[in-house]
Structure formats: structure tokens, C-alpha cells
Amino acid sequence: MIVLDGRRMKTKAITHTYLADRFHFPFYYGRNLDALADLLAGMKDEVYLFYAQDVLDAMPEYGAEVIRVFYDAEKENQDFSFWTNLGESFF
């Protein structure tokens, strides 16, 4: 299980550095949404994002895209699950 704190995701660069650290991504992680999606596609884990609204407040458009990548990974990868407190209001 991986727990993410949305309060730590303030900018694109900080977000990708934080994710690389929390997920122990390899050194070649591209630090962009495509690279994130590629790595999540093969992951077998549960991810919990707390304070998701803080991500959206700090980066309204990009934060929504980041969260969408996690939801998409959950749909495409049966071994991966994602939870956040945004609920149906996100969609």
C-alpha cells in the first residue's frame, strides 16, 4: 500500500519528484503524465491519495490530470487500485 499526501503536491516538478520517491520509480522516470501512466500500468499495489483537494487547489488543471491518470490506471490494471476522498464529485 502506498499513501500519498496531496498537500505535498504543489507544482508539476514537486509532484513528480514526490511520486518518484514514494513509488521508488527508476532513475529513467520521465517525470510527466505519460511516464506516470506507463509505470502505473504495470504496478500491483493499492494507492491512497489523501488531501486530494489540495492537489486541485494548487494545480487546478494539472492536478486533475494527475488524478485522472491514477483513475485510468485503476480501470486498465486489475492489479492496481486507487482511492481518494474526492468521490463522485471529481467526475
Question: How confident is the model at residue 86, as a pLDDT?
Answer: 85
Count of beta carbons in the 10 Å neighbourhood of residue 30: 13
Question: How confident is the model at residue 88, as a pLDDT?
Answer: 65
Please give the residue that has the higher pLDDT: either 85 or 20. Answer: 20
Question: How confident is the model at residue 35, as a pLDDT?
Answer: 98
pLDDT in tens, 23-79: 999 999 999 999 999 999 999 999 999 999 999 999 999 999 999 999 999 999 999
Whether this model's pTM surpasses 0.85: yes
Helix (H) or strand (E) holding 2: strand 2-5
DSSP 24-88: T--TT--SSHHHHHHHHHT--EEEEEESHHHHHHHSHHHHHHHHHHHHHHHHH-TTEEEEETTGG
